[in-house]
Chain A
Amino acid sequence: MKKQKIYCFLAGAVLMASLAACGGGAKESSASGTSGKTEAESGKEESSGKAEAPDSADSGSIRMSWWGGDSRHEATLKALDAYMAENPGVKIESEYGAWSGWTDKIATQLAGASAPDVLQINWNWIYQFSSDGKGFYDLKQSKDDFDFSQYDENLLEQMTIDGKLQAIPIATTGKAFFWNQQTWEKAGLSVPKSFSELLAAGPIFKEKLGDDYYPMAAGEYDLMMLLTYYMQESYDKPWVENGAISYTKDELADGFDFLKKLEENHVIPSQEKMKGDGADSIDKNPNFIDGHYAGLYEWDSAVSKMQGALADGQTLVLGEYPADYGKPSTIYKISMGFALSKDTKNPKADLKLLDYLLNGEGVKTLGLERGIPASKAAQKTLSEEGKLEGLVYEANKAASKNYRFTLSPYYEDSKLKDPSEGAYYEIMDNMSYDHEDSKELAQQMIDAVNELESSKA
């Protein structure tokens, strides 16, 4: 074969391949795109006005982003449409999607100075992305543009770094136990009130319903929080104190023994089984949806999503906090906040919108989609509307009564919590996949947590 000919046809082949690649790429971006625009703005796409009247609260363009499930998206879009109808000078561009990959997206936007004007953020993000308080707009500069009096000082304090208010707390959330009533009934059991009942239920599920039925489902991070619950209840100490884990190696080994017992007693599926289900999260797991996994230790703010995922005829009920080993001590924290980008052009307009969503009329539309609101005005509105009830509300109330220790702001740092790289995941997989010794696991946990805490000190 002549060299020239070879080059000619290779060039042609490469051209073909690159054209095919272009086609694939285009598909990819549309498939992964999760941003959207609200109905009200669709007709006026052309007249973007970022630069117009930067100091006016009633005009201009606002980019806003959040993550969540479908019901949260629908409610938020509806509230934004209503706001734009009331404020025709304001155009809101919304960017929303599922939690999976959201942190990466926001981190990239923040680093590239292309973050939306208004962002829904996780509580720990203020420590992760703004450790010096300069990562987000300091809301103390705009005290008069938002009704901060609706929030407990304590909550605002938790959102403050180096004297700079980083975000407005949207809601508090706590971990609670939820059980699939129908599956438990099918197993001939009432929902468990203690860990001993839960441990006894495993073999009964296996015998009566089959090998693939479990009283509870827990991924690696759920296991981590179950461990925290168990440790705080058993040893009456917070998970982290004075920048270090508060338990001895032996105490933590006892915690890992407890988790191992859950797996051995057929209470929770192994991590191999959970991963084999091929779902990104429990609410998308077919075994949870059809009731094979009959319980969760879940955030109250996420329970609507979980309930919504269940197949028809199945309901989640709130469980009691098990108190076998001491006084219950669940995890309770600010679930999320709204922050403004440090580069926002019009904080007045941003804050007017947030005041509408968090303290004003928007509360009626948003309901409990982001958990129980931290705003007193919102709580009053929802109470008058009769919306401050139901599973989310009951769970939040129970969690607020059963929490005793404040969570370290670094508990959820991505070095610990990230599914691909986080230490929690690695250690829990060491336990579930490799059945490593509890003392070894305890040491790994102590090393990981203490290293992170000291690096942030």
Chain B
Amino acid sequence: MKSARLGPTSILAKAPTGIAGFDAITEGGLPSGRTTLLLGGPGSGKTLFALQFLVHGARDLDEPGIFVAFEETPARLLANFEGFGWKLRQLRRKALYFMDATPMPDLELSGDFDLGGMLAALGAQAKQMKARRIVFDALDIVLALLPGASARRREIYRLHDWLLSLGLTGIITAKAEGDSASSHDAHPYSIMHFMVDCAVILNHRVTHGVSQRNLRVQKYRGSSFDENESPFVIGRNGFDVAVANTLGRAELNVTSERVGSGVKRLDTMLGGGYYRGASVLITGFPGTAKTTLSSAFAAAACRRGERTAIVSFDSDGAEVIRNLASVGIQLDRHVKSGCLRIISARTITGSAETLLVRIKALTKEHKARCLVIDPVSTLFRAGNELTAHGVAERLIDWAKADCITLVCTSLLDDMSGRTDAGTQLQISSLADTWIHLNYLVQAGERNRGMSIIKSRGTGHSNQVRELILSDAGVTLADTYTAGGEVLMGTLRWEKEKAERVAADIAEVAAKLKRVRLDAEEAVLEVQAKSLQTELLAKQVEKTLLTRTTESRELELSRGRTRIRELRGADRALTGRK
């Protein structure tokens, strides 16, 4: 019951335009069976938009269409839009009818007229070919021929009623300068604004010589839509409207797969490498080896056999190859094998939006899984200030959605201050991994330091490492901290040498001590021996002494007895014996 009260669902039926981005903004396309007003200045892309809408219907949705041309003859239209590869001539036979309604040059006017005849003719044609879509291109031309505002109003109503009665999904294009609501009052289209169910305004501005196009849905009855201006470019396949990340979008393919950065120790520092599909930002001043680091990644990707594209805004492909060969990164064989594509975008001028579209198209064409943009800060060139941030956002968004691992370098121009601060593009907050390269000037040397400022979802080293470029490639060296300062280059080397010498000295000292101790021990041992010998001698002497004393006493007593015997004066003591 409740759902029935919400009204007929046909209100929300949408007719897809086939214009990338536009269908996302309007959540499906133009209101089906209703009229859309498309306003814009000369060259803003009205005809293209309308024609693309018809082509999409005729070619892809089995909805034949009619194009009523008030401004350009069908022959000219076909010639002008041949370049988009829409096979207009082929479609024209079956599902696309062009009505030449350009006012004849010899047209004579007398009095009032109306579009009734044309609409009757169109109605017959629409029935015959079962048309579902119709475009009135440059209605303002024919309205201008009508005498007076009331006649114009009448014809607009006639047209609107006719469209509704046939249930065709219609686009009416008309010239209008600017986007200011006040100016519309003077226009005959002011009533059209109230009449139509959807109004789209195309703008074309030039800022600092750079063309910027954008589109805005002004109203859309019965549907929600993105109300902001959306930049678009006219590309090889027609319109391409940039869409910001919308809430309703499908979940991203998030993987925990890691991809090597091309520098072994950096992989270790990141706990295994970048995540697949991550966006890596490498910032640094000129000459801090941003290109080298990003190319090392590209070379590693090619070695793994992943298709890779490098978009270089600084130098030509051949230059890139030569310069990187000097640091042991060989790209030429990957280019030859077709795995790597180097796109020199130095000469591409245009808005940031144009560049993004080109990058997208080339990446798709190459089926790249890894993409290097060197430097992404080019997007920020003059004239793009307003859009660059949005473009960078969408770049990262798009890469993520397609699971492309993106490595961007970004130049920091400002040598003073802001060394670790955000980049101009402020994409640092969007990037998953942010590596900062810096110069450290110490002891008359300039050395490259590398640190990981952030890396979402991966543990990472907090240390500043020294980045060394040599013939052998890119390596990271440990740095020494002494007194709170990081040592690099020669200082680091000196420190390393000093440590080596200190170790040597310590070793020698230990050896010396051992020898000395050995000597002392030996001396003591010798002394001990001699003392023992002396002791022995003393003992011998003592024994000798005892013995001589005894013998002498014996001799003495023996002698006295003898003397007595000889004297004979005394009683021989013998008897006593």
The answer to whether A and B interact is: no
